[in-house]
Chains A and B, each alone.
Chain A
Amino acid sequence: MLSRSSSGTRWRVRPDGPDKVTGQLKYLTDMSAPDMLYGRVLRAAHPHAAIRSVRTERALALPGVEAVLTWKDVPGLNRFGIARADQPVFCEDRVRYTGDAVAAVAAATPEVAEYALQLIEVDYEPLRVLTEPEEALAEGAPQLHQDGNLLHRSEYRRGDADEAFGMCAHIVEATYRTPRQMHTYMETEGGLFVPGEEGRLTVYSPTQHGLMDRLQLSRILAVPPESIRVVSSPIGGSFGGKDELNVQPYGALLARVTGKPVKIHQSRMESVRAGLKRHPMTIHMKTGADASGRILAHQVRVLADTGPYATLGAEVLNFATEHAVGSYAFGAVDAVSISVFTNNGMSGEFRGFGGNQALFALEGQMDRLAEALSMDPWEFRRINLLPADGTGPFGQPISATGGALKVWNALGESRLWREREHLTESGNRPPWIQTGVGAAFVMHGAGLGYGIPDPSGGRLLLAQDGKVEVAFGFEECGQGLLATLEQMLVEMYGLDASDLRLVIGDTDAVPDSGSSTASRATSMMWQALKRMQKPFTERLLAAAAEAASVSVECLRIGNGGIYDIYTQKRVMTYQELAAAGKDPIRAETSFAYPVSPTARIGAHYLYSYAAVCVRIEVNRLTGRIRLLDQFHAVAAGPVMNPQGYLGQIEGGSGMALGFTLSEDAVMEEGIYKTGNLDTYLIPTAADLAGPVEVLPIEDLPEGDEHGPRGIGEIGSVGLAPAIAAAVRQATGIWLEKLPANPALLQDASFLGRKGETV
């Protein structure tokens, strides 16, 4: 099991740790500048309305107000969106959700800015609000976009499902519903926007991909990307939620118009209202097997509420379709997924990326079908795993790791799974406390997938001051990217942490590495360092050999400098080498995330696998579920950073607990009813005090070229179905709707018969 003590010296103090535990670290929302203004955004008063007029005169006349902007003040493209630029910076004639921006203000104090918002007069004509995807698709529904209310359809078919269902001995059918989960990064959106000399603008604002923000902002401002510098790390949490632009367009426009630094830091209420959430999905599945337990047919229907604009809704849906098929060898598959525009909150990228919803449904089907067949649910999964390791959900070739079977075995042998058989005796528990053990098997693709440009790269440089400078265009969201980068350089290159300068999160200083998303950054850093190792080392040694007049064959790089391999003595320090060198010593690499040789858009090539087992108890009087014990077996290649790995699985699982039991950003008529953390309930320490065991399965087939696989998301996808299986064992109730809040199970407790569905 992974722990500090089992990791020995590989368990390191994070380089960003001292500044974090002392409060010295300056987050970008902690920044300020002399004479800065405070920016605020006027959000739509209605979830769906036509704008008849916007009058800003009274706000502009307020003493202390320096700018009031509307769409008329956007010099470039009045739209943004990573995949499809359809979200207005400022709405022109129509608002489509209550987070839509209509105007923005810069003023001398936050109070004046707030008051100025109230003086902006907007005449609205309310329109019919589309609150359900079904409603949005119905005939006669108002069309939210020129191309209608359907954002995206994703289909996958294999064989003849109708015919295959006809041959099934057992068919199970269920409709699963998942909540509008909020990222709930502790640092809400914000930053400081500073105009500079010669039209330069520096944007200090968290994002997962500084260069993408720079590109999007350059379109909005109608300036060359190079005139904008985006400083984007450190970040107080993101989880996908800050990948898309949020307040940056407003800060940038206000700073340019006023010529002064502008600070924006959204309140939690505004963050809830305007920010992204996980797509609520309704997933209907019908799955059938023959009498021996072999699955013959699988039908999937996904309906996703994507909210008013695209962002990455189409990509999330593709991912959900892929993972609704997963790593099982279904005979025939018939999957149709659609993502629909509504006037609800924005849905978008969120850790797990559609896999969370799909796998909750898929694993639910596995348990239901195993039970219908009176088979052990774990054995049932094994006999239906894809037979040939190396085949993905769409039948596409994938990089084989053997991970699927390894995590399956590890869970079967785990202490927690073995406890499952002994739980039925109630022991000393009161009769209203019922316990259960459940398990789930999950896989998760990493990288952006086939058909989407997914470049990466990095750079090494021996700097003038003798530091080995390593630069990547990735971001420190909290995941420990800096710690992992440092550890890889120490372990792969033999350098000391004090030899290094880690450069990330600044578009003026970094190469394009792609986004810190899709569980890709660690894999890409490893790949880049591997590619650069030989050329960089050779260049260092050649320069050292020349400077010291020794043969290059006698030298190696190491901690603090260049060493003689025979005497093991240091020949020169990196400072001496840098001082002696005429030309800078550097290495750079750029390459693409590996993709499957397929034609299926979004299909992945590298997958991680996990098996999750939990023990829970259900209090039938209160309806409350408590998570007592967890086991996670994760097959994702070698562990680069034990502390980071453990943190990703524990943290991902904690987030999944909220998804399963308590979190739902409730909307009524397009308006959030859960406006802050008093009603939107994320897990607390009391909810997650039980043991967590994490077993990393590190070995890869001989000759594997891809190294560490992603672990940023896989910890967040398996817990919900495992808990659902445990609830079934404990109570006889099948969970179909998340979150499984106490009210649901409390109601059921009065009815509580086996076979009940809530």
Chain B
Amino acid sequence: MKSEKDRIRLKPWTCEINGGRVSLNISPSRRLLDILRDDLGMTGTKRSCDIGRCGACMVHMDGVPVNSCLVPAYQAEGRSVTTIEGIGRDGVHPVQQAFLEEGGFQCGYCTPGMIMTVIALLDEHPDPEPEQVEEALSGNLCRCTGYAAILRSVRRASERIIRERCGPGGKEDARI
């Protein structure tokens, strides 16, 4: 039950989420994480530390990975947000496929955030150096796997992406 004062503070808010326009009446300080999970029922983005340390709530904002627990609504206003629900809509994404094949997950709670981070990394560096992988992933905590299977998943995804782009019939003929 909201008081009259709370109602007044609500403001119209629009954002593009997974390619669709979303308009809500919300407090400008509401966290993007809560908008996704509680207002929109998109629970693939996970809540864990609430302070931007664990990466479970990672989404892309204009293509850049961000912890959605640290993004107030007003910062996401008019931006383009991609969540795990927006990945692999036209078939399983190569990163998701690699995690499946390598077993790069156990309880799976960190996995959506982890996959968002890996996709952003491989978008920028399709063939990353080990140090680039370690740095990119260091904001995503996993308690189950000890990361070994995740690192193998990243390597496998990278190989597949490069093969798709550069191999026979690939979209590009030169390695990025």
A residues whose Cβ falls under 8 Å from a Cβ of B? 4, 11, 13-14, 16-27, 29-30, 32, 63-64, 108-109, 112, 183-188, 234-237, 239, 265, 267-269, 477-480, 643-644, 646-647, 650-655, 657, 676-678, 682-686, 688-689, 692
Q: Closest B-chain residue to A4, C-beta based? A: B102
B70 neighbours in A (Cβ, 8 Å): none
| Pairwise interchain contact A677-B44, C-beta atoms closer than 8 A | no
| Pairwise interchain contact B109-A692, C-beta atoms closer than 8 A | no
| Pairwise interchain contact B148-A650, C-beta atoms closer than 8 A | yes
| Pairwise interchain contact A688-B148, C-beta atoms closer than 8 A | yes
8 A-B pairs with C-beta separation under 8 A: A16-B108, A17-B99, A18-B92, A237-B107, A268-B51, A479-B144, A647-B145, A688-B148
A259 CB to nearest B CB, Å: 17
| Pairwise interchain contact B48-A188, C-beta atoms closer than 8 A | yes
**Of B37, B87, B112, B141, the contact of A684 (CB 8 Å cutoff):** B141
Q: Within the assembled complex, what's the spacing in Å between the Cα atoms of A234 and B43?
A: 14
Report the count of interface residues on B (CB-CB < 8 A).
Answer: 58
| Pairwise interchain contact A234-B3, C-beta atoms closer than 8 A | no
- For chain B residues 48-87, which have a beta carbon within 8 Å of chain A? 48-51, 53-54, 56, 83-85, 87
Nearest 7 interchain pairs by C-beta: A23-B44, A654-B146, A478-B107, A20-B108, A236-B109, A23-B84, A30-B43
B37 neighbours in A (Cβ, 8 Å): 30
| Pairwise interchain contact A692-B134, C-beta atoms closer than 8 A | no
Q: A13-B100, A684-B138 are in contact. Are A186 and B147 (CB under 8 A)?
A: no
| Pairwise interchain contact B134-A676, C-beta atoms closer than 8 A | no
B129 CB to nearest A CB, Å: 11
Q: A23-B44, A676-B51 are in contact. Are A185 and B107 (CB under 8 A)?
A: yes
Q: Within the assembled complex, what's the spacing in Å between the Cα atoms of A666 and B135?
A: 27
**Of A18, A678, A686, the contact of B100 (CB 8 Å cutoff):** A18
| Pairwise interchain contact B101-A23, C-beta atoms closer than 8 A | no
Q: A480-B106, A647-B103, A676-B53 are in contact. Are A21 and B1 (CB under 8 A)?
A: no
| Pairwise interchain contact B147-A689, C-beta atoms closer than 8 A | yes
B110 neighbours in A (Cβ, 8 Å): 186
A461 CB to nearest B CB, Å: 28
- For chain B residues 107-162, which have a beta carbon within 8 Å of chain A? 107-112, 115, 130, 133-135, 137-138, 140-152
| Pairwise interchain contact B46-A26, C-beta atoms closer than 8 A | no
Q: A21-B100, A647-B106 are in contact. Are A685 and B137 (CB under 8 A)?
A: yes
A-B contacts counted at CB < 8 A amount to 186
| Pairwise interchain contact A239-B146, C-beta atoms closer than 8 A | no
| Pairwise interchain contact A186-B56, C-beta atoms closer than 8 A | yes
Q: A22-B84, A32-B41, A63-B3 are in contact. Are A186 and B107 (CB under 8 A)?
A: yes
Indicate whether B170 reaches chain A with its CB closer than 8 angstroms.
no
| Pairwise interchain contact A236-B49, C-beta atoms closer than 8 A | no
Q: Closest B-chain residue to A188, C-beta based? A: B48
Q: Within the assembled complex, what's the spacing in Å between the Cα atoms of A234 and B111?
A: 14
Q: Within the assembled complex, what's the spacing in Å between the Cα atoms of A32 and B43?
A: 10
B175 neighbours in A (Cβ, 8 Å): none
| Pairwise interchain contact A685-B103, C-beta atoms closer than 8 A | no
| Pairwise interchain contact B99-A267, C-beta atoms closer than 8 A | no
| Pairwise interchain contact A265-B143, C-beta atoms closer than 8 A | no
Q: Within the assembled complex, what's the spacing in Å between the Cα atoms of A187 and B48?
A: 6
| Pairwise interchain contact B146-A692, C-beta atoms closer than 8 A | yes
Q: Within the assembled complex, what's the spacing in Å between the Cα atoms of A63 and B2?
A: 9
B121 CB to nearest A CB, Å: 11
Q: Within the assembled complex, what's the spacing in Å between the Cα atoms of A23 and B99?
A: 13
**Of B101, B109, B143, the contact of A13 (CB 8 Å cutoff):** B101
| Pairwise interchain contact A24-B99, C-beta atoms closer than 8 A | no
A20 neighbours in B (Cβ, 8 Å): 105, 108, 111
Q: A22-B87, A678-B51 are in contact. Are A688 and B3 (CB under 8 A)?
A: no
| Pairwise interchain contact A652-B1, C-beta atoms closer than 8 A | no
| Pairwise interchain contact B51-A677, C-beta atoms closer than 8 A | yes
* Sample of 6 further A-B pairs with CB below 8 A, known A21-B96, A188-B47, A657-B146: A23-B45, A108-B1, A186-B110, A236-B109, A651-B143, A685-B142
Indicate whether B167 reaches chain A with its CB closer than 8 angstroms.
no
Q: Within the assembled complex, what's the spacing in Å between the Cα atoms of A122 and B16?
A: 46
Q: Closest B-chain residue to A29, C-beta based? A: B47
A598 CB to nearest B CB, Å: 35
| Pairwise interchain contact B85-A187, C-beta atoms closer than 8 A | no
Q: Within the assembled complex, what's the spacing in Å between the Cα atoms of A722 and B46?
A: 35
A15 CB to nearest B CB, Å: 11
Q: Within the assembled complex, what's the spacing in Å between the Cα atoms of A14 and B104?
A: 11
A347 CB to nearest B CB, Å: 19
Indicate whether B88 reaches chain A with its CB closer than 8 angstroms.
yes
Q: A23-B84, A268-B48, A268-B50 are in contact. Are A652 and B107 (CB under 8 A)?
A: no
A14 neighbours in B (Cβ, 8 Å): 100, 103
Q: Within the assembled complex, what's the spacing in Å between the Cα atoms of A14 and B37?
A: 26
Q: Within the assembled complex, what's the spacing in Å between the Cα atoms of A19 and B92?
A: 11
B87 neighbours in A (Cβ, 8 Å): 22-23
Q: A23-B83, A26-B43, A480-B106 are in contact. Are A650 and B56 (CB under 8 A)?
A: no
Q: A23-B44, A184-B143 are in contact. Are A112 and B105 (CB under 8 A)?
A: no
| Pairwise interchain contact B146-A652, C-beta atoms closer than 8 A | yes
Q: Within the assembled complex, what's the spacing in Å between the Cα atoms of A478 and B143?
A: 10
| Pairwise interchain contact A112-B106, C-beta atoms closer than 8 A | no
B46 neighbours in A (Cβ, 8 Å): 27, 186-187, 236
| Pairwise interchain contact A650-B109, C-beta atoms closer than 8 A | no
**Of B43, B51, B88, B143, the contact of A186 (CB 8 Å cutoff):** B143
A21 neighbours in B (Cβ, 8 Å): 92, 96, 99-100, 105, 108, 111, 115
| Pairwise interchain contact B1-A64, C-beta atoms closer than 8 A | yes
B116 CB to nearest A CB, Å: 9
**Which of A27, A29, A108, A677 has the most chain B CB within a 10 Å cutoff?**
A677
| Pairwise interchain contact B85-A23, C-beta atoms closer than 8 A | yes
Q: A23-B85, A676-B53, A686-B138 are in contact. Are A17 and B1 (CB under 8 A)?
A: no
| Pairwise interchain contact A651-B140, C-beta atoms closer than 8 A | no
Q: Within the assembled complex, what's the spacing in Å between the Cα atoms of A265 and B56?
A: 15
B105 neighbours in A (Cβ, 8 Å): 17, 20-21
B7 CB to nearest A CB, Å: 13
**Which of B3, B130, B142, B146 has the most chain A CB within a 10 Å cutoff?**
B146
A186 neighbours in B (Cβ, 8 Å): 46, 48, 54, 56, 107, 109-110, 141-143
Q: Within the assembled complex, what's the spacing in Å between the Cα atoms of A23 and B85?
A: 6
A64 neighbours in B (Cβ, 8 Å): 1
Q: Within the assembled complex, what's the spacing in Å between the Cα atoms of A683 and B43?
A: 26
Q: Within the assembled complex, what's the spacing in Å between the Cα atoms of A643 and B111?
A: 17
B148 neighbours in A (Cβ, 8 Å): 650, 654, 688, 692
Q: Within the assembled complex, what's the spacing in Å between the Cα atoms of A178 and B172?
A: 55
B53 neighbours in A (Cβ, 8 Å): 676-678
Q: Within the assembled complex, what's the spacing in Å between the Cα atoms of A17 and B102?
A: 11
**Of B84, B111, B135, B146, the contact of A651 (CB 8 Å cutoff):** B146
| Pairwise interchain contact A477-B135, C-beta atoms closer than 8 A | no
B83 neighbours in A (Cβ, 8 Å): 23
B50 CB to nearest A CB, Å: 6
| Pairwise interchain contact B96-A22, C-beta atoms closer than 8 A | yes
| Pairwise interchain contact A267-B107, C-beta atoms closer than 8 A | no
Q: A237-B109, A478-B106 are in contact. Are A685 and B144 (CB under 8 A)?
A: no
A27 neighbours in B (Cβ, 8 Å): 43, 46, 109
A185 neighbours in B (Cβ, 8 Å): 107, 109, 143
Q: Within the assembled complex, what's the spacing in Å between the Cα atoms of A645 and B47?
A: 28
B146 CB to nearest A CB, Å: 3
A239 neighbours in B (Cβ, 8 Å): 143
Q: A32-B41, A188-B48, A686-B135 are in contact. Are A236 and B145 (CB under 8 A)?
A: no
Q: Within the assembled complex, what's the spacing in Å between the Cα atoms of A692 and B145?
A: 12
**Which of B44, B56, B138, B150 has the most chain A CB within a 10 Å cutoff?**
B44
Q: Within the assembled complex, what's the spacing in Å between the Cα atoms of A268 and B138?
A: 19
| Pairwise interchain contact A685-B151, C-beta atoms closer than 8 A | yes
Q: Within the assembled complex, what's the spacing in Å between the Cα atoms of A607 and B7?
A: 62
Q: Within the assembled complex, what's the spacing in Å between the Cα atoms of A32 and B47?
A: 14
B106 neighbours in A (Cβ, 8 Å): 237, 478-480, 647, 651
Q: Within the assembled complex, what's the spacing in Å between the Cα atoms of A705 and B149?
A: 32
Q: Within the assembled complex, what's the spacing in Å between the Cα atoms of A187 and B43?
A: 13
